[in-house]
Amino acid sequence: MGKLVRSQRRMFAGVCAGIADSFQWNVSKLRLVWVVMAVLTAGALVVFYLILWFLMPDAASRKKSYEERMNERLGRR
């Protein structure tokens, strides 16, 4: 199992692709399961996705410090 980071092979934010890469799963199947579960949970999984999007570092910026990543996300320089 690799480090959990958002993937560059992204469809939206790279969360599902990052999870699939980390656990060596098929990304298409994971996306399908994610959408079905989001419908079944009345959108609660969408909120979880947004939280993961904010918390998971981008694969390109994983060498940057936590402070640098947060400043980029918050638009600070």
> What pLDDT sits at residue 29?
95
Assigned domain for 53 exists: yes
To the nearest 10°, report the CA torsion of 65, 24, 32, 7: 30
Residue 12 has, within 13 A of its CA and on its CB side, a CA count of: 12
Instruction: Read off the amino acid at residue 64.
Output: K
Mean pLDDT of the chain: 84
* DSSP calls for 35-57: HHHHHHTTTHHHHHHHHHHHHSP
What percent of the chain lies above the pLDDT cut of 70?
90
What is the domain range of residue 33?
A: 15-73
- What residues pair up with 6 in beta bridges, in sequence order? 58
Tell me which residue has tokens 């959990």.
4
> What pLDDT sits at residue 59?
74
pLDDT surpasses 70 at 77: no
| Tally of domains within the chain | 1
- What residues pair up with 58 in beta bridges, in sequence order? 6
pLDDT tens digits, 45-74: 999 999 999 988 877 766 667 777 778 778
